[in-house]
Structure 1
Amino acid sequence: MSHTFNSTNNRPWLKESHQKRSNRSVEIGKQSIDLLLKKGESVTYTNVGDISREIDPEGKGIHPNTIRTNEQLYEYYKQHSLTYKQKENSKNSKTPLNNDIDIDFRKVKPNRNVENAQRKYMKLSKKELVQRLILAEQYIAENNTKWVANHFEMFK
């Protein structure tokens, strides 16, 4: 037996109630964001939810997830949130992968600080790590071939 989700389209008597709640969320959310900006605090989902409880006449406020699900409020949030902009900028600032750039593995020192190397690798994306691993394997394979060829030449 499968259950189907009944949307508000099948219940026209709920449309008015949903619209009221949505409008209330937008109003309280915008007021909360404006108040945070006035206070000089960061506009985050949590901060908006906390402030909304303080300014809501009913004392309920809005849930942080309401910001994500309400399109009007989410757009307003994106315009004023620095953390949202930082997140977007960090996505765009990642260096693109270049297959042309070979890493010079000869410069890797055996006595390097492993913690620093680990910290550096933790900042890389999964694709960048895979690319780096493939390049390292190719470098090792090429050097093994050269080493075997040199040893073979020495025995002739």
Structure 2
Amino acid sequence: MFSTPEFWVLVSFVIFVALVWKPAGKALAAMLDGHAAKVRSQLEEARRLREEAQRTLAEYQRRQAEALSEAEAIVAHAKAEAERMKAQAEADLNQQIARRRQLALDRIAQGEAQALAEVRAATVDAALAATRRLLVENLDRNRSDALIDQAAAELPKRLH
């Protein structure tokens, strides 16, 4: 067994593998440790990025909720403002209608008063004309002179 060359090749191979295995194992272990450290670093970076993405997502969701509530508040305010403006427009319209109605009633009353004054004036004119006619027909010269003198005498009393 010690005399066969296969045995010595096997022994030299085992010695060679044992000598090479130790530094190669260290190098292989160092390479694997480096790779494991790199993987751990990448996993930690991925975890950090995931947490940051979750925080960013939560922030955007919060902002979206705030924007939605703000939009709802704006819509509610706009509706309330529209209702207020509608009520104000109705009140203004009612006031304007009341003013125009009162103006029309005043004009009608003024027209009635003017028509009544014109009728009275026409009545007075007609009465005066009838009185003149009667006086001219029924009054003689002496009687008219006496009435004129009497009116002239009463004039100072009536003026005071």
TM-score norm. by structure 2 comes to 0.27
RCO higher in structure (CA 8 A, sep ≥6): 1
Return the structure number with greater helix share: 2
TM-score norm. by structure 1 comes to 0.28
